[in-house]
Each structure stands twice: as structure tokens, then as C-alpha cells.
Amino acid sequence: MIKHCSLVAIAAVFGALASAAHAEDSLKVGIIGTLSGPPAVLGQQLRNGFALAVKDLGGKLGGREAEIFVADDELKPDVAVNKAKSLIDRDKVEFVVGPIFSNILGAIAKPVTEAGVILISPNAGTSTFAGKECNPNLFVTSYQNDQVHEVMGQYAQDSGFKKVIIIVPNYQAGKDAAAGFKHKFTGEIGDEIYVPLGQPDYSAELTRIAAAAPDAVFAFLPGGMGVNFVKQFRQAGLADKIPFLSAFTVDESTLPAQQDAALGMLAGSNWAPNLDNPQNKVFVDEYVKEYNAVPATYAFQAYDAALLIDSAVRAVKGNLADKDALRAALTKADFKSLRGAFKFNTNHYPIQDFYLTKVAKRPDGKYQTEIVKKVFTGYGDSYAKDCAMK
């Protein structure tokens, strides 16, 4: 059952699943993500991935009918806090799943977790909560932000690039991206460009990049930012001169708009649609059929978040009153992740494999990222050592 959401497609999915649910028996989950403005495609992937998992689980999570509430954080921290409090106080949710952006995670983590509600982030994975501020009520099914960017730093290092220019948004995830890249790349950073979150035009930055003539460019520009930057990078003639390295700039959320402009561009990821395991193949085929789009990491990580909840609620036999038992069940992560090997580190962030990917065109005409090679195996983040949880 879905509540206070006018989105027809999602209402149809969740409503059909839980029409017979009784409020006193249902498991209430709040989804919070950016569902308006240019980044809405990211929140839609999150919401759709979770919805598909609930559908595949027969409308239930851990054997209890799933009652899902959806909130749009509008990419505004103050709005996100109010929406999160409403999910907890009005809707009485037992889990909050979200958000997409790290500044929103920073805003909602305290009010959600201090209310005794489990917060599962299927995307944002800031360094702050991975280390000294790790939280027993926060679980992350994606990655620690730095890690995906470390993939590209390692690739740049291994490729022998001498000088790289970094361009990222000026917020926590952007800072984590730059830091992650520099963890592995020891060459010269020719320029480190920080742009406002949501900036649409990059003519000035592209002029700076062209003048500097770097060996490569590393970009973390999610959503609409990435769409515009890649198109402008290609139009400026730089794509044929300067290798383009990225994370969340060319992915399944941006490729429908970028199309051929992104072909051949490289990225780092913990997954790709062509990852070769049976459950992932079923998921991708099902997602394409359901939503006429190729899933991105936002969708698969939300799908895994639903599987995580299902496994933990099942382990405690539907009784969520014992929070210690529930946290222990969540920490065990007794489910089959779409990415294959997965377990939680002591800070509740994943230990997992990471890959170099390249943009390709599918036989059906859609675009997707595809795995080139594995870069890290069973890789945990560098902040876990500072987390007091053991």
C-alpha cells in the first residue's frame, strides 16, 4: 500500500501489491528521495528499484504486508528533515530508505536514527558516517562515497597519466569524490574545479580544461549536471583529445539523454547491468520490461535495500521491538545481493568488488555501462578503522 504519493506508476505498483494489508499488521517503510527537478531521474530509479523488489517478494517484507510511503525531499535539506519527521511521527514507519544525495543524508540521519528508526541509505555514503560518526541505526547498501572514485584514481595511476583535472559539485559528495580519486592517483592535479550543485552550463570550465591540456579529466557530475557536461564536452571537441574518466556522470540515469555523446566513456562502479550472475540478469530484464529503462546503480542498490529489510524482518520473525536483534539481523546481511559478494563492514558500509565500466549501446538500442575489468576485490573503505562499532 502506498501513501500520500500522486505518482500513478508507483501507486499502481505498490497499491496492487498491498491492497489487502491491514495497518496493524503491515510493515511500514518510508522512501525518501529527490523526485522533482532535474535530478528526479535518480530518485525515480531508487523508488522503482525498491518497488520492483517488493513486487518480486509478493508485496511482503519479511512475511509482513508492505505498506510504503514515498516522500520527495526536493533536494532541500530543510524539506527533507520535515518529510522524514512526518514519515516517523505521522506514518509510524519502521524503516526509512533513502536518500540519493549526501547533503540530504547529512540532514536526516540524526532525526531518523535518534527516533529509533532504522535508516538504510541505498545511495549516499558519506565519509562522515563511515568513520567516527558511524551509527548503529544507519546501514548503507551502496558504498562509501570515496570508493567508486578510488576506482578511477587507480585506473588513472595504472594508465600512467601524469596530469588530471578534477571537476565535481561543491558539496560533501563532491569533496568525497575528489578525495577518493586522490587517494589512488599520485600524479599532478592540474586543476580542481568545484561547481554549484545543479549548474547547467560548463563553457567556462571547458575553456579552462582545454587550455590546461591534461592527460585526462575526472568528473563526478550526477543527474542533469552530467547530461549537460558530457554533451558540451563532446561538442567542444574534447572527447577525441582528452580521456574522460567519471563516476555517476555517465550511467543508466543519464545515458538516455546523453546517448552517443557518452559512448566509450569510462566510469567506476560496484555493479553494471551486464554483471554476470543469474539474479542480476533477471533483475535487469524485469526492470527494463517494467519501466522501459535500463536500471542504474540507484535502482539495484534500492532493490538490495528491500532484500536486506526482508532478510532481517524474517530473521526476527516479524517482531521489531527488540532493536538489538534487528540490528544484528541487518548486520548479518543474509540475502543474495544483485552484485554478488557482499557483506557489511563494522561501520555498516559494504565490503564488495568494484569495476571499471565503459558506455555501450545495447542490441535494443538503449545504452548501458558494461564491465571492462575488476579493479578492487572485497574492498572495504578506509574510514571503518575510525568507527567505534566492532
Report phi then psi at 381, rounded to 5: -80, 160
Indicate if 283 and 215 belong to the same structural domain. no
Establish if 383 belongs to a structural domain: no
Using an 8 Å Cβ cutoff, are 55 and 13 in contact?
Answer: yes
Q: Is 121 in the same domain as 135? A: yes
Q: Are residues 259 and 299 in the same domain?
A: no
pLDDT in 10s for each residue of the chain, 390 residues: 545 443 334 544 454 444 444 445 899 999 999 999 988 999 999 999 999 999 999 999 999 999 999 999 999 999 999 999 999 999 999 999 999 999 999 999 999 999 999 999 999 999 999 999 999 999 999 999 999 999 999 999 999 999 999 999 999 889 989 999 999 999 999 999 999 999 999 999 999 999 999 999 999 999 899 999 999 999 999 999 999 999 999 999 999 999 999 999 999 999 999 999 999 999 999 999 999 999 999 999 999 999 999 999 999 999 999 999 999 999 999 999 999 989 999 999 999 999 999 999 999 999 999 999 999 999 999 999 999 998
CATH number for the domain that contains residue 262: 3.40.50.2300
d(CA 368, CA 54): 24
Cβ pair 274, 370 in contact under 8 A: yes
Q: Which of 269, 303, 326 is the last residue of a domain?
A: 269
Instruction: Round the CA-based radius of gyration of the chain to a whole number and report it.
Output: 20
Q: Based on the structure, what is the number of domains in the chain? A: 2
- Hey, which bits of the chain come out as E strands? 2-3, 27-33, 60-61, 64-72, 95-97, 118-121, 138-140, 163-169, 188-195, 216-219, 244-246, 266-269, 342-344, 350-361, 367-379
Query: What's the grid cell of residue 116?
Result: 529509533
Q: Calculate the alpha carbon distances from 389 to 130, 137, 194 in Å.
A: 10, 11, 34
- In terms of pTM, does the model score above 0.85? yes
Q: Domain range for residue 339?
A: 2-143+276-353
In a domain, 258, yes or no: yes
- Decide if 361 is inside a domain: no
Domain boundary among 269, 295, 311: 269
Q: In terms of domains, do 170 and 291 share one?
A: no
Looking at 269, 297, 316, which one is the last position of a domain?
A: 269
Whether residues 176 and 235 share a domain: the answer is: yes
